[in-house]
Structure 1
Amino acid sequence: MDNKTSNLLDIRKEKINELKTEGISLYPNDFKPDHRVCEVKDIIEQNAETLGENGRKFCLAGRMMAINKMGKSSFVRFQDAGEQMQVYIQKNKVGDDIYALFKKLDIGDFIGVEGPLFQTRTGEWTLLAESFRLLSKSVRPLPEKFHGIKDPEKRYRQRYLDLIMNENTRQIFKKRSAIVAAMRRFFDENGFMEVETPMMQTLPGGAEATPFKTWHNALGMELYLRIAPELYLKRLVVGGFEKVFEINRNFRNEGVSTRHNPEFTMVEFYQAYATYEDLMNLTEEMFCDIVTQISGDTRIEYQGLTIDFAKGWKRISMIDSLSEIGGVDPAIVNDTQALLAHAEKENIQIAKKDRHGKVMTKLFDALVEPKLIQPTFITGYPVEVSPLSRKSEADPELTDRFELFIAGREIANGFSEINDPEDQYNRFIMQVRQRDEGNDEAHIMDTEYVEALEYGMPPTAGEGIGIDRLVMLLTDAASIREVILFPHMKNQ
């Protein structure tokens, strides 16, 4: 805390003690506003003729953001849920005692006011206070109005101040809420049922990632925060819920960056009697619907790029993308050693012991992914990197899987599911071998899930979409921390 803030804090504490001595209630809980500022603004727009000093009265509450004291009268600008309104307070209207109390208050304090509206000489609709109350006394001073909070570190650690001072931040999280609501409506309108599955699991499954571990005292057992809900959602398909979705948290013990947070939000959904191609069509429709609702157009601006979500997204196999987009000679795509040599030439770090599918995928990550700006589905992922995806009938080395890329980053991952329990067991065995070879993120054997498949699962396709990254796109946010209310940070 700097000296200026420390001095202001001392002054406020002295003022609070004075108010207490005078018997002023600093935190009453009996004031009930009858309108919000946004509602009053709607009334002004639609029924201004009913307003005026002798017209309708309003009871409002909010945080004082600016005070202009002028002797026996003052103007105050207060904020309610991000919307601001002006109040005019006169000593002869509210009385000597109340006006004396008002003059002792500070920016940041919550007030309750009641009275009619009038227009100032500049035409601004203003509430004329006939009564005035202190509702909550702030102790710490807000940041300076004209500077706000620019330091990202402070904004993320003290998001409440960021929300008070920065309108853009408030709009990001309002839009995030609208995006999630639009997604829920889409699933509901398409016959999906929303469900909840365990966040603490006995085995970490559904993705290749390092989990967080915890311990359950009563059960005397180790548990893992889930890295994905996939294997539980597919158990529900086995149980007869044929179209399900879940919007909730996943946890992965990985690094923090502009694209990664250890705790993040995803939607996963599963549909019986569907294929990965059906889900690509559904995803196009859903994104187009959400973007149009949120932005009013299928086109958005993201970090200087114009991205068009109109239907007709590009679809290309990983193999073809390596040559057409990544510049890899098509003649070497199926040659592991040649790909490793190409990677070395491009200064791409790939372990020589990696299998062909892993080598191909790492080359894709480096050479192709950053160039996928417009919505693009990449299909035909290798079996080695797709432990839960159905094998392609055309090429058993590949899977019926896609990933969606927009603005150079992965947004969604989907595939036709394995419903052959023997095939799934063998894929888990393959993953166990990879763990033995040093891949700590490889999938753990889950015999209980295999047992569920043995009861029979219909042909099914499933998909996961990163909601944080989608919100980044639709709010033009460069960092994932801008769209998560309380991102993880190192201790100060």
Structure 2
Amino acid sequence: MSNTESSASEQHEIRLEKLQELRDLGYQPYPHNFEVTHHSKYILDHPKLIKEDDQDEEDVEQVSVAGRVMTRRIMGGSTFFNLQDSEGEIQVYIRRDDVGEEEYNTVFKKLTDIGDFVGIKGHVFKTGTGETTVYAKEFHMLSKTLRPIPVPKEVEEDGETKVYDAFSDKEQRYRQRYLDLVVNPEVRNTFQQRSEMVQAMRNYMNDEGYLEVETPILQPVYGGASAEPFVTHHNALDMKLYLRIANELYLKRLIVGGYDGVYEFSKDFRNEGLSRFHNPEFTQVELYVAYKDYNWMMEFVEQLIEHVAKELHGSTEVEVGENTIDFASPWPRIPMFEAIEDETGKDLYGKDIDELKEAAQDLDIELEDSFGKGKIIDEIFGEYVEPNLIQPTFITDYPIEMSPLAKKHREKEGLVERFECICNGKEIANAFSELNDPVDQRERFEEQARLRADGNEEAMTIDEDFLQALEYGMPPTAGLGIGIDRLAMIMTNSDSIRDVLFFPQMKPEK
């Protein structure tokens, strides 16, 4: 056992003893409720709550606050401590003469630890140093912690401020996000911004008149993207089901059913590798609008994300690492093959698979036997083009082999009307003029089935029910998917997808 583990175990035993002592004294260390009337931020933002020197306590608004004890400065019969609630921290002043000898000397001084949840009732005043503080008239233990909170300590050494015991190990922070949120307040800000980002997108689409819907997560036939699914089994129906990899095909069924615009914030699942840009469980929003095409959708995406940037940052400019990303529209639009030729010098448009393999070999791209034309082009694009696109850019007009659900290009042979928005070196959005020709769609699915038979496990399967829905008629439609996690990384200046997920997938601890 390490020294750290030994210390933690010892602390656990000490706190268990304190817990029992509280109970022996007749205290309830885990009461059922506590009425909270004010939060720290509200008190700090409202100086009218502060008691003036010439005011009687009875004339001052009383406050009731609750949260964790984060620091204590005991000075005999009185103590200052910091209380952390959901909105920040505020200082509390507590005196033996006000709360009683046993409450102060035993319950507070002896049996209360850093991290314990407590409730305070009293009034607000300002200390001699000008700090807004809650003057405690009542003290209540609300939850006795049995493990020490890893609170960092700042120490002055050789004229420098050094921090000790910081909860800074990234992997441990992801595994124990609850502690991360307690001791690293900036993490709360990240998730607050993520929530505001989603709400801004929802409000924008609602204002456009689109309907938010829900579609199945458990699906008998997975589809809507090229990915390997998670598989499960339904006992009552005795059938295999899949966690959805996308919700596209169900949302298009709703367009068939007569809706002009539907969207869904969905949890999707793809049985693939983990990286700082990939988590097996992720969030995206998909939107489908009848009678529109991918040109219209490009303008919509520009306006939507520009709106989000302004809502979160008050500007179209967002600082991301060393870059300033400007979401002001319009954004550049570059055809995919043109972008590849600009970066590699190779014109791949119209090339057969042997020519593509030769080009990939020249570019040191590793290929697998199962790779078709679309996969080879995608690998070249991902290696040579995508990482260089920092400012938001629309890459348009993809090869038909890469896009089995997109409409054929109205002018260019072998291409489809599709775009991806690339920003900060990664795709954040994908959109099509949706394929609504059921005969063409069946042929595309059958080609995907052939690729799957050749070993491509990410190729799509044939969805007969969806094909039947198309045969009942779907109007011209523009479809869009935006990766919420990746967009949140940009909007919150986060380096890893795990920084914007409360509980990212992790390998088991040894």
8 A contact 1:248–1:267 mirrored in 2: yes
The AA in structure 1 aligned to 2:68 is R
Task: Provide the C-alpha distance between the structure 1 equivalents of 2:460 and 2:29, rounded to a whole number of angstroms.
Answer: 57
The AA in structure 1 aligned to 2:74 is K
8 A contact 1:373–1:406 mirrored in 2: yes
| Structure 1 position 97 matched with structure 2 position 102 | yes
Aligned alpha-carbon RMSD (Å): 1.6
One of 49, 56, 61 as aligned partner of 1:56: 61
Equivalent residue, structure 1, for 2:135: 128
Identity of aligned residues (%): 45
Within 5 Å, give how 1:354-365 maps onto structure 2.
Answer: 354-365=371-382
Task: Provide the C-alpha distance between the structure 2 equivalents of 1:127 and 1:376, rounded to a whole number of angstroms.
Answer: 52
One of 317, 321, 329 as aligned partner of 1:311: 329
Task: Provide the C-alpha distance between the structure 1 equivalents of 2:308 and 2:187, rounded to a whole number of angstroms.
Answer: 20
Equivalent residue, structure 2, for 1:289: 307
Task: Provide the C-alpha distance between the structure 2 equivalents of 1:308 and 1:474, rounded to a whole number of angstroms.
Answer: 11
Q: What secondary structure is seen at the aligned counterpart in 1 of 2:250?
A: helix
Q: What secondary structure is seen at the aligned counterpart in 1 of 2:395?
A: strand
Task: Provide the C-alpha distance between the structure 1 equivalents of 2:33 and 2:492, rounded to a whole number of angstroms.
Answer: 38
Structure 1 residues 421, 342: CA separation in 2 closer, same or farther (over 3 Å shift)?
A: closer
Task: Provide the C-alpha distance between the structure 2 equivalents of 1:62 and 1:243, rounded to a whole number of angstroms.
Answer: 44
Within 5 Å, give how 1:76-225 maps onto structure 2.
Answer: 76-100=81-105, 101-103=107-109, 104-146=111-153, 147-225=165-243
Structure 1 residues 148, 288: CA separation in 2 closer, same or farther (over 3 Å shift)?
A: same
The AA in structure 1 aligned to 2:321 is Q
8 A contact 1:270–1:463 mirrored in 2: yes
| Structure 1 position 419 matched with structure 2 position 425 | no
The AA in structure 1 aligned to 2:436 is N
The AA in structure 1 aligned to 2:499 is E
| Structure 1 position 17 matched with structure 2 position 20 | yes
Equivalent residue, structure 1, for 2:262: 244
Q: 1:145 Cα deviation (Å)? A: 2.6
The AA in structure 2 aligned to 1:446 is D
Equivalent residue, structure 2, for 1:388: 405
Task: Provide the C-alpha distance between the structure 2 equivalents of 1:374 and 1:148, rounded to a whole number of angstroms.
Answer: 35
Structure 1 residues 238, 328: CA separation in 2 closer, same or farther (over 3 Å shift)?
A: same
One of 24, 42, 50 as aligned partner of 1:39: 42
Equivalent residue, structure 2, for 1:253: 271
Per mean C-alpha deviation after superposition, the further-off stretch among 447-456 and 49-58 is 49-58
- With normalisation by structure 1, the TM-score equals 0.96
Equivalent residue, structure 2, for 1:300: 318
8 A contact 1:53–1:118 mirrored in 2: no
The AA in structure 1 aligned to 2:19 is I
Structure 1 residues 53, 234: CA separation in 2 closer, same or farther (over 3 Å shift)?
A: farther
8 A contact 2:93–2:136 mirrored in 1: yes
The AA in structure 2 aligned to 1:239 is G
8 A contact 1:472–1:483 mirrored in 2: yes
Task: Provide the C-alpha distance between the structure 1 equivalents of 2:351 and 2:472, rounded to a whole number of angstroms.
Answer: 40
Q: 1:10 Cα deviation (Å)? A: 1.4
Per mean C-alpha deviation after superposition, the further-off stretch among 296-305 and 345-354 is 345-354
Structure 1 unaligned blocks of 5 or more = none
Q: 1:50 Cα deviation (Å)? A: 7.1
Equivalent pairs counted in the alignment come to 489
The AA in structure 2 aligned to 1:227 is I
Q: 1:352 Cα deviation (Å)? A: 6.6
Structure 2 unaligned blocks of 5 or more = 154-164
One of 347, 351, 354 as aligned partner of 1:335: 351
Q: What secondary structure is seen at the aligned counterpart in 1 of 2:344?
A: coil
Per mean C-alpha deviation after superposition, the further-off stretch among 308-317 and 48-57 is 48-57
Equivalent residue, structure 1, for 2:77: 72
Per mean C-alpha deviation after superposition, the further-off stretch among 439-448 and 348-357 is 348-357
Q: 1:361 Cα deviation (Å)? A: 2.4
Deviations 1:13-58 (A, max 9, x none): 11111111111111112420111222222222x6658797732221
Structure 1 residues 71, 161: CA separation in 2 closer, same or farther (over 3 Å shift)?
A: same
Task: Provide the C-alpha distance between the structure 1 equivalents of 2:358 and 2:220, rounded to a whole number of angstroms.
Answer: 41
Q: 1:340 Cα deviation (Å)? A: 2.8
